[in-house]
Structure 1
Amino acid sequence: MNHQELNVLATIKRMTNAFNQGELEAVMAQYETQAAVAFEPNQWIHCRKTISECFKEALAIKPTFTYPGTHKVTIAGDIATHTANWVMNAILPSGEAIQESGLSVATLRKQDSGNWLIVIDNPHADK
């Protein structure tokens, strides 16, 4: 990967690490204010407050996300896509262990600062 592709990947890694650590504010810091997130297949949320509430609910089961394959990053100007398969392990309040997996496709935009932020996040792109 070139330097800009690595910068895009760094945003994804910061978001994932924050999610795995249960750090809601750090997760939200990786998203543009007007971001859209699909917490369920084909169910988009556009309201930042609701996105934050959904992430808070998801963090309650202490999920751990990994990317077992390769990360693909494509950049055109100040827009990038990140594509990767993911696996999530968590423990439900009942004590039951769960595992889910999917294909994540995220669109990011380069900010004036040079950082990349997520604009569209679809962790269910394969559904």
Structure 2
Amino acid sequence: MNLPKRAEDAHTTLAAAFNTGDVATVMSMYDVNGIIVPEPGKPVSGTEQFAAAIKAILSIKGKMEIKTVYCLQTGDIAVGRSEWSITDGDDVKISAKGVEVMKRQTDGTWKIVIDHAFGAEAGLIA
């Protein structure tokens, strides 16, 4: 899996990574020193906790789709707002509105530093 060369492509690349079903492929999209919030109110950081969070998400069998609502970039930092879902045919297993912070790497690719999968849900207190 090639990491995105543009911040605005991070959501599409992340969905493709999840749809491989491979933990290592998904992990490659993240800076594991950052934060992932796989469920509201439960932020985690570090390789082991990232892997556990990703395995939990991958256990929701289905196809992930991520729509980019916006992506704002300044220099090597970008913030994106997403609407994402995991579906199995017509059955929506989970859907939410997220916020992601991305950082350009020294090789020009982008990784996600903060992934708040539910960060744009109405009424959510982070």
Q: Report the TM-score range of the alignment, normalised by the length of the smaller protein.
A: 0.7 to 0.9
Map of 1:108-119 to 2, 5 A cutoff? 108-119=102-113
Shift of 1:23: 1.6
- Mapped to 1, the partners of 2:92 and 2:105 lie a distance apart of 36
RMSD: 2.2
Map of 1:64-79 to 2, 5 A cutoff? 64-67=63-66, 70-79=68-77
**Structure number, greater radius of gyration:** 1
TM-score by length of 1: 0.80
User: Residue 99 of structure 2: which of 101, 105, 117 is its match?
Assistant: 105
Shift of 1:90: 4.8
- Mapped to 2, the partners of 1:61 and 1:109 lie a distance apart of 27
Aligned to 2:25: 26
Aligned to 2:83: 85
> 3-state SS of the aligned residue for 2:43?
strand
> 3-state SS of the aligned residue for 1:45?
coil
- Mapped to 1, the partners of 2:88 and 2:34 lie a distance apart of 25
Q: Which runs of 5+ in 2 are unaligned?
A: none
Map of 1:25-44 to 2, 5 A cutoff? 25-44=24-43
Aligned residues: 117
Q: Which runs of 5+ in 1 are unaligned?
A: 92-96
